[in-house]
Amino acid sequence: MTHEDRRPPLIGISSYQDAAAWSVWNQRASLVPQTYVDSVVRAGGIPVLLPPQPGGAGHLLDALDGLVLAGGPDVDPARYAAAPDPRTGAPHHARDDWETRLLRAALARDLPVLGVCRGMQLLNVELGGTLVQHLPDDSHQRVPARFVRHRVDVVDGSRLAAVLGPATEVSCYHHQAVDRIGSGLQVTAHSADGTVEALELTGHRFALGVQWHPETDPDDLRLFHTFINASRTADRTTGRTAGRTGSPPAGRGTSQRETAR
């Protein structure tokens, strides 16, 4: 085994740009919650922050072993051909564009992808799915900046079930959810109210999205460990082109939120 084989995998974490304050400064900065960085490190990876930028997604993914699409603001409804609900947040075009390019490049290279909250929703939208723009009040997001704890039930036989078992307690903070399922995606977890809690992309080495925030639980790194282990298998000598040669085609799936109840 070479030194290259033994080194920890390089994990890209999508970040965003926002106003920030530190020391005597108050200006725009590239940000990501430290919990993502800590989770990748504790699970055995080396985090690399990926702030929105005009180009370079393909070159970056050629150098990385895995991609985390972090949580954040609402995905622009125009991306799934919907008019914005009055309760949908203002679009973040730069971040939507950047993360979509990162996701396409990762899928084209069969690179492991873990989508968290918004990241799972973006995965669904990129593959032709749609979103519920507002869930019933006080269901999955009650108090600003405070996570809601609830149980999710995991589909037997799924990759997620092999990691978490038939059910688990999670921390969530979202007012939108997956509606019509994107092409090639399978629903692998639900909450009691029927909300889609996890998606997996069939035919891919590791492409999994969860609606909750696993990075906020330092005592449960099972999902991050599994993702990091999948990232260790990346074939750096072939440019990771042995899998898909392009992003999977967007398709029109079917809404499963009601049928899952």
Active site residues: 117, 213, 215
Give which of 40, 237, 8 is closest to 49, Cα–Cα. Answer: 40
- Span between the terminal Cα atoms of the chain, in Å: 49
Bridge partner list, 209? 115, 199
CA distance 232 to 99: 22
Q: At what angle do helices 34-42 and 222-232 cross, to 10 degrees?
A: 60
Given a contact cutoff of 8 angstroms between Cβ atoms, the answer to whether 46 and 40 are in contact is yes
Given a contact cutoff of 8 angstroms between Cβ atoms, the answer to whether 96 and 131 are in contact is no
- Give me the amino acid identity at 14: S
φ, ψ of residue 185 to 5 degrees: the values are: -90, 145
Give which of 221, 27, 41, 246 is closest to 13, Cα–Cα. Answer: 41
**How far is the CA of 49 from the CAs of 65, 77, 184, 214, in angstroms?**
13, 26, 28, 18
